[in-house]
Structure 1
């Protein structure tokens, strides 16, 4: 392991937290949070590199895998789970994997993150392929589970990226593309579910949203491929058609029901 400074473990700039008023706590947390978007902005060139390389593979049938433990793993699963309803892709194109299995989404599984072999086993169960992309997420950049997935994935020729909050960490060195977001020490020392987790969420939003736009799952600025799985989304789709096809609400609703999706209606409807 290389020598690097674990920024995520540096003592908080704030002390005696238990003596602060609620207002003071909230204002100070908010003050720290305001640093996060600027830190993410500094790594946009690395995110761009990933999205461009990922898009090329994705269009050839490749998949996107997120691997992580704890908060990082949950954030990957959250991002992956939003792809089908938001962009209408099958569940098996963007996949989140967490150390300890699906049970770890709700309850921590002790020592699961320390297993150096399980991540690659988890990926192999899903018939990992050279066109696939593996993004490891670990605030510390040292999580054995994540490193144990990234190393063999890169050796096998897959595209690999690492989202971490410690520049120069083993994950940043192991992955082909290092997205190292330096958000500074946490408000509560070492609590990486805070600024580090927020930065990971922002980066994941950027990766998946940009990817979906690049592969044509958005038209204009609309989620035209979204699943019409509840009344709110049906209403949203109807309004998209009102705007896109210059229809009144009643006709747009009828057209949406006829074609079953916003994109099909926009592509095929003729007055």
Structure 2
């Protein structure tokens, strides 16, 4: 009865989350056989993902005027004594926190370094382990914004890949009432489609007190995986607006500079790393990612693998008995967890100590994810190999067992170094997962339906695969009901899309 009630509750509001028409939820025509390429032709798989990124960055160049205007708004805010806030959920939350970190590290002058605040649904603890359900509640967005001290002189950059995330919309609408400065809403879908599909999005798009910056760059390389192209272009746009706040006219040239850097870089070296990491997992091993200067970017990619591919999340050392994640992070120059998190964030962690969620979002929980030097000891029993991503004289040094490569980036701006590493790691992890069978074609058959948006995505994928298998159309409501029943019995390493497909086919 509880399962049926939960399904009914979702179906009652499903029209608010049926997002299949959005461009960010469409399959990319270049990657329809991505899983096959990952298994049988890695060089071509890498080249295909690079081409998808090239097309996205090329489309972003057409948004240069809007990014210039955003940079001018950031500059005006700083000049008037205000602070800049960035918020998001999941991948956009991590990029918001990353940009705060990079602002402290050097993309802003020292006198402004502490005047950027990034936050995400669930607080800092959600940076390393996805917190289910937070993004579905606009009130949480407003509550976190207010608790961080957002005021009448401040500016909010509300960042949502799809343009429909309730948490981000809640923060954005609240900012429009609190501050004299209009918040900016950054999103990656056409206005007409978005307004038709989601009433909450239409409300924002028609709000005269909110600036809109549409960064639509097409479908994602992996269907619906907005951790890839959408979050890349949003991080580049917001990062350039911060970096060039004093000279917005520099934005178009900076966009072209990054596009040129990304495309002139040879990505072919990734094939050996992808094969090495996937082979290690296939043999029952684990990987410990060690880094010094690039912790925030490495953490984002490794964390996002869990919800995207239904992998065990990073285990918390204070909660024994959890399954080990395939990979883990280590900052080898930090002696303990508190020091590691302060180093990674360039500040003391900000966690949610709300009574209703302290056990999953509080500081004590965050520190249980010990990414310090002690992670070496913690992971020693996991048959772990080490993937080192370290600062070097020439740029970034990458080493995994006998495989090594140098990225000559020493002369590049800090933002560009992190963004290029993000592109490379997204390609790397996506193809590692393809070799492990974690998607079919370019459909995320192992997606973890942990919120309403992802439940809808899973239902859509099941219906698409059912049509391919039978030539018939599966009813949306019936598919959702079967998914809820299957979820109750899902094993720790089973794909809910595939298991629901089998159950639907037999019903």
TM-score of the aligned structures, taking structure 1 as reference length = 0.73
1:8 aligns to 2:24 (yes or no): yes
The residue number in structure 1 matching 2:81 is: 61
For 2:118, what is the secondary structure of its paired residue?
Answer: strand
The residue number in structure 2 matching 1:161 is: 184
Specify which structure has the bigger relative contact order, considering alpha-carbon pairs within 8 angstroms and separated by 6 or more residues.
1
The residue correspondences of 1:202-213 to structure 2 (distance < 5 A) are 202-211=236-245
Q: Which residue of the other structure, out of 75, 94, 104, is the alignment partner of 1:84?
A: 104
User: Do the aligned partners of residues 38 and 64 (structure 1) sit closer, same or farther apart at CA in structure 2, a change above 3 Å counting?
Assistant: same
Q: Count residues with an aligned counterpart.
A: 217
Alpha-carbon offset, residue 185 of structure 1? 0.9
The residue number in structure 2 matching 1:40 is: 60
Alpha-carbon offset, residue 38 of structure 1? 1.9
For 1:26 and 1:177, locate their aligned partners in 2 and report how far apart those are by CA, in whole Å. Answer: 37
Note the alpha carbon deviations across 1:98-119, whole angstroms, 9 max, x for none: 1011100111110111111112
Q: Which residue of the other structure, out of 212, 223, 238, is the alignment partner of 1:178?
A: 212
Alpha-carbon offset, residue 173 of structure 1? 4.6
For 2:98, what is the secondary structure of its paired residue?
Answer: helix
Note the alpha carbon deviations across 1:180-239, whole angstroms, 9 max, x for none: 11211111111111111211121122111012567xxxxxxxxxxxxxx9xx9xxxxxxx
For 2:183, what is the secondary structure of its paired residue?
Answer: strand
The residue number in structure 1 matching 2:228 is: 194
Partners of 1:129 and 1:158 within 8 A in 2: no
For 1:192 and 1:90, locate their aligned partners in 2 and report how far apart those are by CA, in whole Å. Answer: 30
The residue correspondences of 1:19-30 to structure 2 (distance < 5 A) are 19-20=36-37, 21-30=41-50
For 1:159, what is the secondary structure of its paired residue?
Answer: coil
Partners of 1:163 and 1:200 within 8 A in 2: yes
Q: Which runs of 5+ in 2 are unaligned?
A: 1-15, 195-200, 249-345, 347-391, 393-507
Q: Which residue of the other structure, out of 136, 140, 143, is the alignment partner of 1:121?
A: 143
Moved more, 101-110 or 161-170: 161-170
For 1:126 and 1:51, locate their aligned partners in 2 and report how far apart those are by CA, in whole Å. Answer: 23
For 2:99, what is the secondary structure of its paired residue?
Answer: helix
Alpha-carbon offset, residue 10 of structure 1? 0.9
For 1:75 and 1:190, locate their aligned partners in 2 and report how far apart those are by CA, in whole Å. Answer: 17
RMSD between superposed Cα atoms in Å: 2.6
Partners of 2:72 and 2:246 within 8 A in 1: no
TM-score of the aligned structures, taking structure 2 as reference length = 0.40
